[in-house]
Amino acid sequence: MGEPIPIACSLDADSYATRLAAVREIGEIALLRTQRHDEGSGADLFFRDGDETRRRLREVIEGEATCCAFLDMNLDAEDGMLRLSISGPADAALVVEDLVQSFEARPGLGIRS
């Protein structure tokens, strides 16, 4: 069995701020609704479908896979929308919520900085 993945973001403060600004912009432009998971460590975010939105969401997923490998993020097309599923271990609930709030263009919790 492999080593557990640490619940930590590897971005420096400037890179983190740049990432969250990009996330907020995507949310402001294309987010339709958010559905949080009952267990508290995940959410499904629904966006207007479009090539640019799809490209930008994939960039976020790739970036998060590098800096926050403990997150599980998947992008699917569903009912004419894009669904971004974000989840993580229970210990990462605050990190997941921070990211979700950033997509919702609300001030995040700032716990990854």
pLDDT at 86: 96
82 burial level (CB within 10 Å; 0-12, 13-18, 19+): buried
pLDDT at 112: 47
Rounded to an integer, what is the distance from CA 34 to the centroid of its chain? 12
- The model's confidence at residue 113, banded by pLDDT at 50, 70 and 90, is very low
The 10s digit of each residue's pLDDT in 32-88 is 999 998 776 899 999 999 999 999 999 999 998 888 888 999 999 989 999 999 999
| Domains observed in the chain | 34-103 (3.30.70)
pLDDT at 107: 55
User: What is the mean pLDDT of the segment spanning 22-40?
Assistant: 90
Residue 74 forms beta bridges with which residues? Answer: 85
Terminal alpha carbon distance of the chain: 30
pLDDT at 7: 78
The residue with greater pLDDT, 32 or 18, is 32
User: What is the mean pLDDT of the segment spanning 89-96?
Assistant: 88
pTM of this prediction? 0.85
Cα separation, 66 vs 15, in Å, equals 12
Q: Which long-range contacts (CB under 8 A, 24 or more apart) does 50-58 make?
A: 53/26, 53/29, 53/82, 54/82, 56/22, 56/26, 57/26, 57/82, 57/84
